[in-house]
């Protein structure tokens, strides 16, 4: 199995519990938007604890990037990632297929489930092919929204945020369920892309199929 030792070039906060890791890019390493790799921390006791993360950079960039939610409620991999610094090293493995773009549609994301969509939208923006794609994100509060400014610049009013634990002007206050989808979506023949917590993804897949969706692309 392919393995690369790569150096962390920079770490910056994105939200209160999400960080952007800028990583050196191995020679010849390539991927397409939506793909992922397994990452391990290159330190004793951590090298075999691999976790999948989606690339959020574009393949044309000179570096790699991961946008990772840090879970500090238990001493796991993301907690330890949150303690790393510039100059520390990671282990990258083979690139594998995750969400594949299948044409204009509606993207539904729960929390950090938006991360597989970041590179897809960045590539579409670079290629001038954003079109009528739409992104609906569900988060607990406004502070949890990942890359709100960038998505709004790319998508304008086709970027919708709904908050489940906070009511605030300009944001919806509802979970993404059948009632919400019937209100927000008029055409269920378009492709749907879904990523988020397992329970949310499974519920939405069933709901979308019930509503007549013929193409539901799911990232679990």
Six-digit token string for 218: 């799911």
Domain final position from 77, 96, 115: 96
Shared domain for 133 and 188, answered yes or no, is: yes
Map 51-113 to HEC letters.
EEEEECCCCCCCEEEEEEECCCCCCCHHHHHCCCCCCCEEEEEEEECCCCCCCCCEEEEEHHH
Residue 101 lies in a domain: no
**Are the C-beta atoms of 132 and 155 separated by less than 8 Å?**
no
Task: Say whether both 83 and 173 belong to one domain.
Answer: no
pTM of this structure = 0.94
Task: Clarify whether residues 88 and 127 are in a common domain.
Answer: no
CATH of residue 39's domain is 2.40.30.10
Task: State residue 220's pLDDT score.
Answer: 53
Sheet holding 4-15, edge to edge: 51-54, 36-41, 89-96, 4-15, 18-24, 63-69
Per-residue pLDDT of the chain (220 residues; tens, 9 = 90+): 689 999 999 999 999 999 999 999 999 999 999 999 999 999 999 999 999 999 999 999 999 999 999 999 889 999 999 999 999 999 999 999 878 899 999 999 999 999 999 999 999 999 999 999 999 999 999 999 999 999 999 999 999 999 999 999 999 999 999 999 999 999 999 999 999 999 999 999 999 999 999 889 887 5
> What distance in Å separates the CA atoms of residue 8 and residue 120, rounded to the nearest whole number?
23
Is 174 found in the same domain as 154? Answer: yes
| Whether residues 116 and 87 fall in one domain | no
**Which three-class secondary structure state does DSSP give residue 196?**
coil
Query: Tell me, what CATH number does 153's domain have?
Result: 3.40.50.80
Q: How many CB atoms lie within 10 A of CB 23?
A: 22
Considering the domain architecture, whether residues 118 and 91 belong to the same structural domain is answered as no
- Tell me which of 75, 96, 117 is where a domain ends: 96
Does one domain contain both 212 and 117? Answer: yes
Q: Are residues 111 and 84 in the same domain?
A: no
Domain that holds residue 207: 106-219
């Amino acid at each position: 199995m392919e393995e690369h030792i790569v150096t962390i070039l920079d770490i910056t906060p994105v939200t209160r519990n999400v960080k952007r890791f800028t990583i050196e890019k191995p020679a010849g390493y390539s991927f397409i938007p939506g793909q992922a790799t397994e990452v391990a921390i290159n330190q004793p006791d951590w090298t075999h604890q691999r976790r999948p993360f989606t690339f959020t950079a574009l393949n044309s960039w000179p570096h790699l990037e991961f946008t990772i939610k840090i879970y500090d409620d238990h001493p796991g991999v993301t907690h330890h990632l949150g303690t790393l610094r510039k100059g520390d090293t990671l282990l990258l493995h083979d690139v594998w297929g995750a969400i594949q773009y299948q044409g204009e549609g509606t993207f539904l994301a729960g929390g950090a489930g938006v991360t597989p969509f970041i590179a897809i939208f960045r590539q579409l923006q670079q290629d001038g092919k954003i079109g009528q794609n739409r992104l609906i994100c569900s988060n607990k509060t406004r502070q949890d929204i990942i890359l709100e400014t960038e998505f709004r610049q790319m998508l304008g009013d086709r970027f919708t945020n709904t908050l489940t634990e906070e009511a605030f002007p300009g944001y919806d206050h509802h979970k993404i369920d059948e009632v919400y989808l019937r209100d927000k979506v008029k055409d269920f023949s378009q492709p749907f892309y879904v990523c988020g917590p397992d329970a949310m993804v499974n519920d939405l897949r069933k709901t979308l199929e019930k509503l007549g969706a013929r193409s539901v692309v799911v990232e679990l």
